[in-house]
A and B are shown apart, each in its own frame.
Chain A
C-alpha cells in the first residue's frame, strides 16, 4: 500500500470549511480505499460533507487544484465504482442522510444521497409506501449509490430498476455548478439528462438530493418457496411462469450450495437437500394473488417441483428473504473470499449458461455458488476462494472473464445492476464497438470536460483523449 501524502494546500483549503471533517490520517484513509469488491485504491483525502454547499465547495477546490474526486455512499458496490484510483479526494456522502420532504399527494420524497435504502422504506411504511428498488444490500446501501449504479434488486422484476423510481436529482456538476436534472412532472420536455445521470457511476458529478417515487405497499403479499431435485427444472419453471403471463413481484433462484450456506445463517427451513430453490413473491389484490399462486403451482408441477411452501406469515416471509439477501456475505462460511459476478442472459438460456458457469469454475479449480434474479435472467455467479492460495486470483479473474464471455455469447450483457466501475471497464469492448464507446465518452465529456469526476472508471482508458491520470489501473489495484 503506497500512501501518497496529502497535498497540504488542498487539505488546508478543504479544512477551512470542513474543519476536522477533511481527513488524511493514514489508517483512516485506508478505510476508504475499498468498496464491497476486491479492488483497492488510494484516496488522498477523505471529506465528510453534510450538505450540498459543502459538496460544491469540495468540488470547486478540487477543480482549482486539478485533483480528481469521487463520491462514495455506503461503500457496498461490487464493481469497484467507489474505489479511489488516481489519488482522488473521496467525498463520502454518508453523513448527508436526511429525508427532506415527503409529498404523499404526488407520491414523491426528496432525500439526501446518504439515506439508506431500507431506512427510507421503513420510514415510509406507516404511510403505506416504500421505495421499490431493493438491492440485496438494501439495509446498508444508500440512495446515492443506487442512483450511481442504477441499482436493481429482487422486486425490480415487476417494479423496474432505480431509474424508474428517480424523478429528479440535484447534482454538483464537475465544474462546481449546482443543477437539477429532471423534474417532477410525468413527461418533462427536452433531453432526459436525469436518465443519463442515473447509472453514470459518479462520472458526471455528485448527487446531493434525489426526488424518489413512492410506491404504494401492495395490499396482499405471498411468498412461495419451491424446491427442485434438478436445477434445470427450476430454471425451466422460471421461464414457464413468465410465459404463462404472470410477472411475479420477485422470482429468485438459489442453487444447492447457496441453499446450504444461507440455511446455516438464517435457519429458515430452506431444504438443504434440494438441487435448487425458487423464491417467488406475488403481490397485489387478494384475488389476483390467489390466482398467481395457482398459476405458479400448476407450472411448477409440470416441471417436477418437489414441494411448494407458502410462507404462513410476515415473520416466515421475512426470514426467507433474510436468507436470500444475506447470501453473498454468507459465502464466507465456505471460503474466506468471494468474487461476485453480475451478468444478464436471456431467460431461455439460463440453464445453458448456468451449466457453463459450473464447468468454468471446475476448470479453474474454484467453487461456484449461484444466487440470482432468475426472473430477469440476471445471473450472480459467486466464485468462492481463499486469497491465501498462491495464484488463486489469476484463476478467479480468468474464470470471471470466461463467465462474462459465455453470457455475452448467449446473447446477454456485461452487467445487470452492479455497474461497470473498475471491474468490467476493460470488458466494455466485448459488448461495444470503439465507435460506441467514443460516443459514450462524448456524453461524459460534456458533463466533465476535465476528467476529474471518478476518473478511470466505466470506459476503458484510451476511449478519451484527455485521460490525464494514467493509462493503467495502478499496481496493486487488483488485490
Chain B
C-alpha cells in the first residue's frame, strides 16, 4: 500500500460543508454506473477530507478522484449547497502539481488546444486521415473540414465566443448560431485569435496555471462592455467562472458580461421570427454545464420551444458521460454512463435530440443518436419556414 504525499489546499470549512447525507449519490453518473461509494460525490469528499488530514493519498484515492466527470450534478442535488466542483478542481490541481497525475503526452494535448495554429494543423491531419478512413468509427468525429471559410463579423452588438475544438470541427454550428442571433436584429462580432480556448478542459485536468493563462488572454480578446454570448455550455460555464479563477475585479466584470446564447435569446423571444410549420418533436438533453453549472437550461426550452415541441429527457439531468476529454480518457466509464442516457432518450420517442454542448453532441453521436445543437435546429426550421 504505497502512499504519495499530497498537500490539499482546501479549507476545513469547505471540506466539512458536506454532512454526508448521501442525497447526491443517485445524481452522480459514476455512482449510478458503479454503485461504489468511492465513485460518489459523498465518497470523493470523504477521500479529500482524509487526504487533507493525512497529507498523503493512496492509489484508490487517485483512481476515484480521476473517475469524476465533473458534471456537477451533485451540486444541484445538494441541499447543503456544497461547492463540489471547485473542491474537485483544487484536488486535481494539487495532484497535477505534486504528483505524476497528468502524463506528459496529455499535457502536450492540452497545450495544443491553446494554440490556434497547432490545433488547425492537427485538425487537418485528422481530416485527411478521416477521408482515408483511417480513424476508427467508435471515435465518431464529425466530418472535419479540410479547409474552413472564416467567420465574418456583421457588426458589434454582441460578441460570439468560438472556442477551440468547436471552432475547428463544428464551425457551421457557429454560423447557424450567428444567423439566429441576427434574426433578432442584432449584429455579431467574433473575437481575434487571443480567444482561442476557454481553458475549461485544463481546469478539469488540474492544469490550473495553463487555465489561468488562457483565461487572461481570452479576457483581452473582448474589449468593451458588450455581452459575450457562448454557444457551448462547457465554455460558457468556464467563462462565467473567470472571476473566481483569476480572483480579479476585471475578471469578475468580464464574467458578468457572459451569457449562454439561449439565456440571451430567451430574454428576446419577441424579436425572434415566427414560422408557419408543424413543430417537430425534439428531445432536449440538458448539458450538465448548462443545467448544473450555469443553471440556465430552461432557456433552451424557451427558445427551441418557439419552433419545436420540446420533450425533456426524464433522467433528472444525469450526465451523458462526455465530460470534455473524459469520453476519450475514460471511454469505458463514459460509455456505461451514456447507455443510461441513450435509454432515457429512447423513451422520449422524439425525432431528433438537441444538445447545447459540443462534447455531448460528439459523445451522443458516437452512440448513433441523431443530435444537433438547439440553434442549428432552430436555424433549419427558420429557413424552412421563411
Q: Which residue of B lies closest to A266 (CB)?
A: B79
A228: chain B residues at CB < 8 Å are: none
- Mark each residue of chain A from 60 to 95: 1 if its CB lies under 8 Å from any CB of chain B, else 0: 000000000000001110000000000000001011
Nearest-CB residue, chain A, relative to B16: A336
Q: Hey, which chain A residues are within 8 Å of B25, CB to CB?
A: 74, 140
The smallest beta-carbon distance between A81 and chain B, in angstroms, is 14
B35:A27 contact, CB within 8 angstroms = no
Tell me which residues across on chain B come within 8 A of A36, comparing CB atoms.
20-22
Knowing A30-B46, A32-B37, A140-B26, say if A332 contacts B19 (CB, 8 Å): yes
- A388/B12 contact (C-beta < 8 A), A36-B21, A140-B25 known: yes
Closest to B57 in A: A27
Q: Which of A36-75 contact B (CB under 8 A)?
A: 36, 48, 74-75
Q: Does B78 contact A (CB under 8 A)?
A: yes
List the A side residues contacting B58 at CB < 8 Å: 25-27
Asked if A13 is an interface residue, CB under 8 A from chain B, the answer is: no
When A328-B79, A331-B80, A332-B80 are in contact, do A95 and B35 touch as well, CB less than 8 Å? yes
In angstroms, Cα B157 to Cα A467, docked, is: 77
- B53-85: CB near A (< 8 Å → 1, else 0) gives 000011111001000000000000011111000
Known: A116-B26, A332-B80, A333-B81. A31 touches B35 (CB 8 A): no
- Beta-carbon contact of A31 and B21 below 8 Å: no
Q: Does A338 sit within 8 A of B, measured CB to CB?
A: yes
A409 in the interface, Cβ–Cβ < 8 Å? no
Residues of B within 8 A of A31 (CB): 37-38, 43, 46-47
| Residue in A26, A97, A137, A388 whose beta carbon sits within 8 Å of that of B22 in the complex | A137
> Which residues of B lie under 8 Å from residue A154 when comparing CB positions?
none
The 8 A CB mask of A10-23 against B (1 = contact, 0 = none) is: 00000000000001
Most chain A beta-carbon neighbours within 10 Å: one of B16, B58, B80, B81: B80
On whether the beta carbons of A34 and B26 are closer than 8 Å, the reply is no
Residue of A nearest to B25 (CB): A140
- Give every chain A residue within 8 A of B59 (Cβ-Cβ): 25
Find chain A residues with CB under 8 A from B34 CB: 95
| Set B12, B60, B64, B79: member contacting A329, Cβ < 8 A | B79
Decide if A230 is an interface residue (CB 8 Å cutoff).
no
Instruction: Indicate if the CB atoms of B79 and A139 lie closer than 8 Å.
Output: no
A119 surroundings in chain B (CB, below 8 A): 26
Is B17 among interface residues, defined by CB-CB distance under 8 A? yes
Once the chains are docked, how many angstroms separate the CA of A329 from the CA of B25?
Answer: 13
Per-residue CB proximity of B3-24 to A under 8 Å, as 1/0? 0000000001100111111110
Residues in A neighbouring B60, C-beta threshold 8 A: 23, 25, 27-28
Question: Could you tell me if B13 and A265 are in contact, using CB atoms closer than 8 angstroms?
Answer: no
Given contacts A31-B46, A265-B79, A336-B13, contact A331 B19 (CB under 8 A): yes
**Interface digits, A311-345 against B, CB 8 Å rule (1 contact, 0 not)?**
00000000000000011111111001110000000
Contact call A140/B23, Cβ cutoff below 8 A: yes
Cα distance A338–B16 when bound, in Å? 11
> Does A439 sit within 8 A of B, measured CB to CB?
no
Whether a CB of chain B sits under 8 angstroms from the CB of A387 is yes
Residue numbers in B under 8 Å from A381 (CB-CB): none
- What is the CA–CA distance of A118 and B35 in the complex, to the nearest angstrom? 15
Chain A: interface size category: 35 or more
Q: A27-B60, A94-B35 are in contact. Are A332 and B82 (CB under 8 A)?
A: yes
The reply to whether B19 and A337 form a contact with Cβ atoms under 8 Å apart is yes
Q: At the interface, yes or no: B50 with Cβ under 8 Å from chain A?
A: yes
Instruction: Decide if A114 is an interface residue (CB 8 Å cutoff).
Output: yes
Q: Which of B13, B36, B50 contacts A30 (CB 8 A)?
A: B50
Contacts of A94 in B (CB 8 A): 35-36
Contact B19 A329 (CB under 8 A): yes
Does the CB pair B47–A333 fall under 8 Å? no
Contact residues in A for B46 (Cβ distance below 8 Å): 30-31, 34
Q: Give Cα A137–Cα B25 distance, bound, in whole angstroms.
A: 11
Most buried by B among A137, A140, A337: A140
> Which residues on A sit within 8 Å (CB–CB) of B57?
27
Cβ of B108 < 8 Å from any Cβ of A?
no
A387 touches B16 (CB 8 A): yes
Min CB gap A479→B, angstroms: 12
Q: Would you call B19 and A336 a contact (CB within 8 A)?
A: yes
A329 touches B78 (CB 8 A): yes
Min distance, Cβ B314 to any Cβ of chain A, angstroms: 9
User: Which residues of A sit under 8 angstroms from B26, Cβ to Cβ?
Assistant: 116, 118-119, 139-140
Q: Please determine whether A330 and B13 come into contact, CB atoms closer than 8 angstroms.
A: no
Chain B residues with CB under 8 A of A27: 38, 47, 50-51, 57-58, 60-61
Interchain nearest-CB distance for A198 vs B (Å): 22
Q: What chain B residues lie within 8 Å of A333 (beta carbons)?
A: 80-81
Q: Which of chain A's residues 286-332 have a Cβ closer than 8 Å to chain B?
A: 326-332
Known: A328-B79, A331-B19, A332-B17. 4 other contacts (CB 8 A): A27-B58, A36-B20, A95-B35, A139-B26
* Complex A-B: 15 CB contacts under 8 Å: A27-B58, A31-B37, A48-B35, A74-B25, A75-B22, A76-B21, A92-B35, A94-B36, A114-B35, A118-B26, A137-B21, A140-B25, A329-B19, A336-B19, A337-B19
B residues whose Cβ falls under 8 Å from a Cβ of A? 1, 12-13, 16-23, 25-26, 34-38, 43, 46-47, 50-51, 57-61, 64, 78-82
